[in-house]
Amino acid sequence: MQFSELIDKRRSTRRFTDRKVENDTLRRIMEQALKAPSAKNTRSTRLMAVTDPAKLEAMASMRDMGAAFLPGAAAAIVVMGDPASSPLWQINAAITATMLQLAAVDSDLSSCWVHVGDYHRIGDDPASQRTDDYLKELLPVPPAYGILCVVALGYADYTPKPLPPYEGDERILFA
Ligand SMILES: Cc1cc2nc3c(=O)[nH]c(=O)nc-3n(C[C@H](O)[C@H](O)[C@H](O)COP(=O)(O)O)c2cc1C
């Protein structure tokens, strides 16, 4: 697929068919994403693929907004970082997550980022459990790792509209 086509096809998708995603496909897109650049080549990002329907169901409760569609996904990739490897682990993880979403398109998959970061399970209640702590109870995430986001993916059950053409605004500057 040409890069220009791939970049247009990447849309956040939250509705998927029942078709499973083979582990070989998950491994391939994770390997591709892990070719992302990282600060000082620290390669601090770690990825964990979750395909167990019961776990995907439980992951939907990690936040009261923005995660409810996870049980309909074929897989969720937890994007983590090792803070001991780099103080820029979150930036490294964000680049990897983005490349994962592009790699997914190249394998005919669609995806959506679900944010974790410093969120709490009840968005407007900072006393509620942190989302990363909840995920660490559910999944074998090493306690020292931070979690940036989860990328839900699967085969889309519709064709999302491509992004509108760039119309030119304050986002691109020349000097
Ligand atoms: C940092 C970040 C956090 C996001 N968090 C969520 C989320 O928690 N839940 C969700 O459904 N979508 C989430 N999204 C997806 C955005 O809503 C989506 O990218 C945006 O609406 C633009 O749509 P597009 O990706 O189709 O271009 C997130 C995207 C980014 C980059």
Query: How far is the centre of ligand 1, averaged over its atoms, from the C-alpha of 31 (Å)?
Result: 23
Choosing from 8, 69, 90, 113 the residue with most ligand 1 atoms within 8 A of its CB, the one to mutate for a pocket test is: 113
Query: Does any ligand 1 atom lie closer than 6 A to the CB of residue 62?
Result: no
Tell whether the model's pLDDT for residue 171 goes beyond 90.
no
Q: pLDDT per residue over 95-130, tens digit each?
A: 999 999 999 999 999 999 999 999 999 999 999 999
Residue of the CA atom closest to atom 27 of ligand 1: 11
Strand-by-strand arrangement of the 75-81 sheet: 45-50, 75-81, 146-154, 110-115
CA distance 162 to 143: 39
Fold of 3-154: NADH Oxidase (3.40.109)
Atom of ligand 1 nearest to the CA of 13: 26
pLDDT of residue 166: 72
Enumerate the β-bridge partners of residue 50.
76
CA distance 78 to 46: 8
Query: Does any ligand 1 atom lie closer than 6 A to the CB of residue 11?
Result: yes
Q: pLDDT per residue over 15-59, tens digit each?
A: 999 999 999 999 999 999 999 999 999 999 999 999 999 999 999
Choosing from 7, 112, 151, 166 the residue with most ligand 1 atoms within 8 A of its CB, the one to mutate for a pocket test is: 112
Sketch the domain layout of the chain as residue ranges. 3-154
CA distance 95 to 32: 12
